[in-house]
């Protein structure tokens, strides 16, 4: 998993509330178990018409936001079904951080396991960053996970809370498998001792 420490990038404003996982990645694209390749279908029904043409006024189709690495979103982001494909699609598109006032619990936890930092801010702070993001590609946002701060293009700094364990995992690029592999030596020692003590097993 890719480490996250500091991020400087373009923020795309998505003021819609209750953006659910089916909006993030429609169910028709859930046929794969690979984490890669889903970015092209991120927000598919909002990005493309039925003929597959881009919908020009959708934010991620606008020239200023095609390279966005941050989403500033409306309340209750990631609600709906618990599909892990949603953070897979977000990460594959190149978005490393989502800022909102609230997230669905399962989506929130899945973000950390896929290299994405979900940041919860009070409504007025989120709204200030939403307005800042509306400036376009010239307005870059700065995120420092170690310091737990978000800095707007105007230099306004907002602090956020994050669970210390989740922060450790994200900063060190550790998903569940990575955490297990950190104990590889202990696991090998246990298996060797177990085989010696119980050779008939």
Mean pLDDT lowest among 30-34, 66-70, 106-110, 182-186: 182-186
Q: Is residue 179's pLDDT more than 80?
A: no
H/E stretch holding 72: strand 70-73
CA distance linking residue 56 with residue 38, whole number of Å: 21
More confident residue, 177 or 151: 151
pLDDT in tens, 133-173: 999 988 899 999 999 999 999 999 999 999 999 999 999 99
pLDDT for the residue numbered 175: 73
pLDDT for the residue numbered 180: 57
pLDDT for the residue numbered 31: 83
pLDDT in tens, 80-131: 988 899 999 999 999 999 999 999 999 999 999 999 999 999 999 999 999 9
Of 3.50.20.10, 2.40.50.1070, 3.20.19.10, 3.30.420.40, the CATH number of 6-174 is: 3.20.19.10
pTM for the full model? 0.87
- Band (pLDDT 50/70/90 cuts) for residue 190 is low
3-class SS of residue 157? strand
Tokens of 136: 């376009």
More confident residue, 193 or 30: 30
Sign of CA dihedral 122, 128, 134, 136: negative
H/E stretch holding 175: none
Closest by CA position to 23, among listed 47, 2, 7: 47
DSSP-derived letter for residue 160 is -
Tokens of 15: 């003021």
pLDDT for the residue numbered 128: 97
pLDDT for the residue numbered 174: 85
Q: What percent of the chain has pLDDT over 70?
A: 90
More confident residue, 18 or 35: 18
CA distance linking residue 72 with residue 125, whole number of Å: 11
Q: Is residue 2's pLDDT more than 70?
A: yes
């Amino acid at each position: 998993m890719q480490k996250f420490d500091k991020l400087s990038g373009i923020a795309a404003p998505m003021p819609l509330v209750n953006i659910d996982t089916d909006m993030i990645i429609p169910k028709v694209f859930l046929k794969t178990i690979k984490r890669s390749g889903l970015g092209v279908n991120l927000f598919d029904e909002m990005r493309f018409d039925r003929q597959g043409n881009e919908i020009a006024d959708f934010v991620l189709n606008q020239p200023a936001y095609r390279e966005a690495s941050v989403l500033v979103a409306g309340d209750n982001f990631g609600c709906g079904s618990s599909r892990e494909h949603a953070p897979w699609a977000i990460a594959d598109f190149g978005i490393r951080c989502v800022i909102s006032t609230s997230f669905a619990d399962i989506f929130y936890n899945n973000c950390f396991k896929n290299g994405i930092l979900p940041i919860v801010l009070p409504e007025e702070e989120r709204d200030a960053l939403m307005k800042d993001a509306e400036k376009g590609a010239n307005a870059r946002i700065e995120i420092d996970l170690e310091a737990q701060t978000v800095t707007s293009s105007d230099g306004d700094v907002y602090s956020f809370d994050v669970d210390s364990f989740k922060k450790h995992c994200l900063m060190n690029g550790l998903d569940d498998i990575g955490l297990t592999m950190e104990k590889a030596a202990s696991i090998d020692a246990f298996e060797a001792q177990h085989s010696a003590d119980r050779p008939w097993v």
